[in-house]
Amino acid sequence: MSDAPAGGAAPPVVSLRGVTRVYGEGDAAVAALGGVDLDIDDGEFVAIMGASGSGKSTCMNLIGALDVPTAGTYRFCGVDVGGLDADQLALLRRHYLGFVFQGFNLLKRTSALQNVELPLIYRRVPRKERRERAREALRVVGLSDREDHTPAELSGGQQQRVAIARALVTDPLLLLADEPTGNLDEARKLDILRLLVELNRERGLTIAMVTHEPEMAARASRVVEFRDGRVSRDYLTRGGDVDVA
């Protein structure tokens, strides 16, 4: 999906240049983003932080092709996302992005296996193949023995693992996690964080995670902090060099 020249260095997975996002018009206009430059390279685990209203969630929505910039450019693996129509944006989300949300967003009366299969149904993957891939995704997140359980029969941490498996089943280039531990107790938070670190280290999965918790962000390899619609700090951590205790 890249526009990089043959033999050249691969472009960043995400590249924002001068990105602004303004809601409303005239005196009612609110600038959620005020000129953001940001690159996320293949294999990075980036934590995105900031106070409420800082612009971090708006930035995540733009990266996830759930919203569009007012100005500036967004390139995904070298492709100008601003040049894509609605159908192409849907394909970008469906084939290259995985989403994990704070609220799990699982179908309540559907088994873990069927929840994980759902993105593959939208991609019209044959039943046998999608079942095999869903089982493998559940194995990766440590839930092979829970595939027939509904969300009501799973703990909060297990439900989030199912949600992560659902995001992984399409083999995305980028996993977007929006406050993935926000609804969990401390023990379950660490379980999910360990899983994300493992996916990044062992599978090379590129991850962008919005969080307001410094202890969670510290386990990413890089932290990007937002303030007043701009990137205020961008720094590496020791997260990639230490174990999640």
- For 58-80, give one letter per residue: b (16+ CB within 10 A) or e: bbbbbbbbebebeebebbbbbbe
To the nearest whole number, what is the mean pLDDT of the chain? 92
Q: How far is CA 126 from CA 91, 132, 147, 187, in A?
A: 18, 10, 19, 38
The string of pLDDT tens digits covering residues 177-236 is 999 988 888 888 999 999 999 999 999 999 999 999 898 999 999 999 999 999 999 999
Q: Which pLDDT belongs to residue 239?
A: 66
User: What angle do the packed helices 186-203 and 156-168 form, to 10 degrees?
Assistant: 20
* Predicted TM-score of the model (pTM): 0.91
Residue type, 36: V
The string of pLDDT tens digits covering residues 57-107 is 999 999 999 999 999 999 999 999 999 999 999 999 999 999 998 888 999
Q: Which pLDDT belongs to residue 95?
A: 92
The string of pLDDT tens digits covering residues 16-42 is 999 999 999 998 999 999 999 999 999
User: Domains plus CATH for the chain?
Assistant: 42-61+86-221+231-240 (3.40.50.300)
